[in-house]
Structure 1
Amino acid sequence: MRISKLFDEKDLVISIELYSPSCIGSRDYIFRTLEAMNGLKPDYMSITYRDFRGINNSITYKEDMKCLLDIRDDYRIEVLPHIIGHNVNKEVLCEIIQEVYENQIENLLILQGKELLEKDLNKKGMSKDFKDILELINFIDKKNKFSISSVCYPDTFISQKDMEHDVNNIVKKVKSGASHFICKPQFNNSNIYSYINTIDQKQLKIPIEVGILPITNFMQLKMLNLYFNDLIPSKVLKMLHKYANDEKSLRDIGITYALYQIEELIYSGIDGIHIYLIDDPYVTKRIFQGLNKILRKNNGR
C-alpha cells in the first residue's frame, strides 16, 4: 500500500527506521529488532545504513532489496527504500526504480544526501545527473509508480527565518511530487507544534510524521551536545548528563522521555510517529511495550 494512503485510512501511522552499521551482517540485527517489538507491528519501516548509500548504490542495492523484500513478505510490513539525491546516476536509478516497481514496492524516500568530490564520483561510478532533490523528485514522480516521501528539519533550524525557509522547501517538494514527510529526530514537542502550525498556514494537505530517537547511550549524548544542545528541554538535558556514566540509568531515562514525547504527540492529534531504533533489543522491547500501553490508553490511536 502507498504510505500516503495509510494516512487516509488511519488516525495515527507508526513507523520505524533501523540504523544498520552495514549491509553485510545487518540482516540478523534487523530481524532481531523486529522480534523484540512485542507483537506490535509498525505500519511501515525503513533502513538507514552507516555509509548513507541508500538503495541506489550499484554494488549493494540488490542485497538491500532482498532484505527489504524479506521484511515485507515475512512480517507483512510495508517497506520504504531510500534514494539519495546527490550524485545518483540516472541510468542506474532507472534500473533500480524499475526493479523496485516490479517487486511491487510502492514507496520511496528521497533524501538530499552528501555531495561527493569529483575524484570520489569517478571512483564510485556516480554522477551529477540531477542538480537538486527537487529535480530528482520530479523525475521519479513523472513515472507515476510510487508514493514519494521526503524529510523535513524543524529542529535543524532555530530561528523563525530558517523555519520559514524549510517550510518553503516543503512547498517546493510537494509541487515536485512529494506526498508525505518525516521529521528528523525531535527532542522538544513545542518546536514541532510551531513548525506544523507554520506548515498549516501554507494550507498544505500533507501528512507529517514526527521523528523520535530514544537517547540510550553515551555516544548519542555526545551527538546531542554537538547538534541539539539548544533544542532539548534543559531539565531533560541536565538529567541525561547527570547519568552520563551510568549506562543503565541513562538508557532508562532516554526511553522514558521518548515515551513521554510519543504520548504527548499522540494526544495532540499528530499524523504519525517515526521511531529511530538502534541495535538494542532491550530498548526496542521497552519502547514497544510502552507504546502498546499508550495506544490502549488513547483508544487505539
Structure 2
Amino acid sequence: MKIGELLKKGTFSISFEFFPPKTEEGERELFDTIKSLECLSPTFVSVTYGAGGSTRDRTKRVVERIHQQTHMTVMAHLTCIAHSREEIISILREYKEIGIENILALRGDLPANMPNFKPPDGACKHANELVRLIRSSFGEHFSVGVASYPEGHPESPNMEWEIRYFKKKVMEGADFSITQMFFINDYYYRFIDMCYKEGIDIPIIPGIMPITNFRQISKFASMCGATIPDDLIKRLEPHMDDQEETTKIGVEFAIKQCEDLLKNGVPGLHFYTLNKSRATLEIYQAIKDKVLALRSYLP
C-alpha cells in the first residue's frame, strides 16, 4: 500500500519508527515490540538507515521481515550522501523486487568517524536530488516521503532558507513529509503556515518523541535543534535517574501534545519508538477515541 495515496484519500495516519538493531537479541526484542504495536493497525511503520549507509544490510533485513511476517505497510529510510547513484539504484531495485513501495528519502548524516569524508563522485548531495533520482529511475512505483524541520535543520541559517529547500524536495516529487521531533506545537503550526504561503500542500505528519530517558532525548534534541520547553525540563531534571517517573512525566506531556495536534487537524501522528512499545501504547490508549473517530472518517 502506498502511503501517499492513503494520505491523499484523507486517511488519518498512525505510524511508528524503528531502528535496525545491532544484535540478534536486539532484533528479537524489536519484533516483540512490533508484535505489540501491530494490534493498533498502524497506517505504516518505518525503519531507519544509519549514517553513511552503515546499516544498509540490517535495514533491509528488518524491512523485509516486517513486510513478509506482518500485515503492516513498511517504509524503508534511505540516505544518499555516502552512496553513488548506481548504489542507490541497486538498493531501490532490491526493495522493488521484494515488494516495498514506500521510501523515506533523506540526505543523511555524515559518518561521524570520518572527519575528511567526501561524497562519491556523482552522488546525490541533497535529499531533493535523491527524490529526483527515485522518480527518474522508478517513476511512480515508490511513494516517496521526505523529512521536514519545524525549527529548521541544524545547517539552515533561517526558516526562509529552510522552506525554500523543503519546497525543492516537494517539487521533485515528494508525496508527504514526516517532521523531525518537536516538543512545542507552535513551531509546527508556524511551519505549516509558511509552507501554505509557499504553495506547499503535501501532508506533513508531526513526529512525536515520548521522553523516557531525559539524558538521551536531551542529547538527541541538541543534535537536531529541537527545543525542550523549560517547564518540562524543570519537571524532568529532578528525576533523571528515575526511569518510572521520567516515563510518567514524558508520557503525560506527549498525551497533551498529541491532543492539541489532533484538535488542530494534523494528517497523522508518527511516533519515534526507540524500539520500545510501552510509552507509545500508553499515549495511544489515552488518545484512542479521538484517533478512532478520525480514522473512521473519510472526506
TM-score norm. by structure 2 comes to: 0.86
| Structure 2 gap segments, 5+ residues each | none
Residue of structure 2 equivalent to 1:46: 46
Q: Output the amino acid matched with 2:248.
A: D
Q: Compute the displacement of 1:110 (Å).
A: 1.0
Q: Compute the displacement of 1:272 (Å).
A: 1.7
TM-score norm. by structure 1 comes to: 0.85
Q: Once the two structures are superposed, what CA deviation does each residue of 1:143-193 show, in whole Å capped at 9, x if it has no partner?
A: 2021111101112469x9712211111111111221211100010011111
Q: Separation in 2 of the partners of 1:62 and 1:9?
A: 33
Q: 1:297 to 1:232 in 2, by over 3 A?
A: farther
Tell whether the 8 Å contact from 1:259 to 1:290 is kept in structure 2 after alignment: yes
Residue of structure 2 equivalent to 1:130: 124
Q: 1:300 to 1:68 in 2, by over 3 A?
A: same
Q: Output the amino acid matched with 2:127.
A: I
Q: How does 1:41-80 map to 2 (within 5 A)?
A: 41-48=41-48, 51-53=50-52, 61-80=56-75
RMSD: 2.9
Q: Separation in 1 of the partners of 2:214 and 2:228?
A: 16
Q: Compute the displacement of 1:299 (Å).
A: 7.5
Q: 1:21 to 1:63 in 2, by over 3 A?
A: closer
Q: Compute the displacement of 1:289 (Å).
A: 2.3
Instruction: Indicate the SS of the match to 2:104.
Output: strand
Identity of aligned residues (%): 27
Residue of structure 2 equivalent to 1:81: 76
Structure 2 residue corresponding to 1:151, chosen from 147, 152, 169: 147
Q: 1:118 to 1:252 in 2, by over 3 A?
A: closer
Structure 1 residue corresponding to 2:172, chosen from 152, 163, 176: 176
Q: Separation in 1 of the partners of 2:91 and 2:224?
A: 35
Q: 1:52 to 1:169 in 2, by over 3 A?
A: same
Q: Separation in 1 of the partners of 2:287 and 2:96?
A: 33
Q: Separation in 1 of the partners of 2:260 and 2:296?
A: 15
Residue of structure 1 equivalent to 2:200: 204
Tell whether the 8 Å contact from 2:20 to 2:48 is kept in structure 1 after alignment: yes
Q: 1:221 to 1:173 in 2, by over 3 A?
A: closer
Q: Separation in 2 of the partners of 1:171 and 1:232?
A: 27
Q: 1:179 to 1:23 in 2, by over 3 A?
A: farther
Q: 1:91 to 1:287 in 2, by over 3 A?
A: same
Instruction: Indicate the SS of the match to 1:177.
Output: coil
Q: Separation in 2 of the partners of 1:132 and 1:225?
A: 22
Q: Separation in 2 of the partners of 1:187 and 1:172?
A: 26
Residue of structure 2 equivalent to 1:10: 10
Q: Output the amino acid matched with 2:204.
A: I
Q: Separation in 2 of the partners of 1:131 and 1:53?
A: 12
Residue of structure 2 equivalent to 1:290: 286
Q: Separation in 1 of the partners of 2:56 and 2:124?
A: 20
Q: Compute the displacement of 1:221 (Å).
A: 4.5
Number of aligned positions between the proteins: 292
Q: Once the two structures are superposed, what CA deviation does each residue of 1:201-259 show, in whole Å capped at 9, x if it has no partner?
A: 11222010100000111332442673588823322221122322322111111011112
Q: Separation in 2 of the partners of 1:90 and 1:3?
A: 25
Q: Once the two structures are superposed, what CA deviation does each residue of 1:19-71 show, in whole Å capped at 9, x if it has no partner?
A: 3442654431321112222721211111225x4355xx6xx645532321221
